[in-house]
Structure 1
């Protein structure tokens, strides 16, 4: 299988996971499928490509932007980096839906947050934090601030 085919597959899996997350957010099975199925398969794929992309003769490091760029000069490493984004953004989307459900925030209100997280990661999370703060009329001190649950 080519890297382009794998790229297409992981993008499709992530895309449909986001759709299932929004449509079936009240169903426990969707979180089980995403967490135990999608995350595990994506993590294994990530490990495979990060090992082949950063292993052996790879150059670069994490101490400067130029070295990070050099570190991800192989297509396998870039694919692994992309999978990293997909998995972590999806995990944040799962947290947003669970937190919103627990706090009584309508799923249509969080749709822009989910779209924003899917496309722009931290920007979507920030939007949710703003909506959550307005809804609760108080800025929570941490993501699991139980005293703010109604």
Structure 2
């Protein structure tokens, strides 16, 4: 597979999940698919594999603008970086929807923030934080239940259930 093909596949591959967040945020399948770790984990795996496949030129190991520019010049390196962006943007978009539902923020008000998050990542996140601060007067990331209490931990995979 070429880097161009991989880029197109992952780029188009996340669109259905963004569409679910935009148009059906409360649908049970949106909750089961997009709000699970599977999609972001798959993008993380793609990122890892493309980093392994990349043939980074000498000079890309440093923390400099020049090193980053060299990394983006390598096609598989660019695909790896793009998978990184897609994974984090989708993770943030899914969090925005969960947070908005939890805080009863109207979904139509969240839609522009989701579009911005998909296109410009941190700009959409900032837009949502401003929206949330204006509508709900909160500047915290603490996830509280409607009663104001921190929710009890949920059961995790592998935990035993006792009656």
Please, what is the CA RMSD of the aligned residues?
2.2
Do 1:25 and 1:97's aligned partners in 2 also have CA atoms closer than 8 Å?
A: yes
Query: Which of the pair is proportionally richer in helix?
Result: 1
Q: Structure 1 length normalisation: TM-score? A: 0.86
Q: Structure 2 length normalisation: TM-score? A: 0.80
Do 2:71 and 2:78's aligned partners in 1 also have CA atoms closer than 8 Å?
A: no
Q: Does 1:71 align with 2:78?
A: no
String of CA shifts for 1:31-78, please: whole Å, max 9, x gaps: 4323343223222211111112166x6532242111221233311010
- What's the counterpart of residue 39 of structure 2? 38
- What's the counterpart of residue 53 of structure 2? 52
Matches of 2:133 and 2:111 in 1, distance apart?
16
Q: Does 1:19 align with 2:9?
A: no
The runs of 5 or more residues in structure 1 that have no matched partner are: none
Matches of 1:119 and 1:110 in 2, distance apart?
14
Do 1:21 and 1:31's aligned partners in 2 also have CA atoms closer than 8 Å?
A: no
Do 1:46 and 1:80's aligned partners in 2 also have CA atoms closer than 8 Å?
A: yes
- Which stretches of structure 1, 4 residues or more, deviate above 6 A after TM superposition? 147-150
Do 1:92 and 1:125's aligned partners in 2 also have CA atoms closer than 8 Å?
A: yes
Q: Does 1:109 align with 2:118?
A: no
Matches of 2:146 and 2:55 in 1, distance apart?
44
- What's the counterpart of residue 161 of structure 2? none
When Rg is computed on C-alpha atoms for both structures, the one with the higher figure is 2
Partner-residue secondary structure (3-state), 2:142? coil
The runs of 5 or more residues in structure 2 that have no matched partner are: 149-163
- What's the counterpart of residue 141 of structure 2? 143
Alpha-carbon distance, 1:145 to partner? 4.9
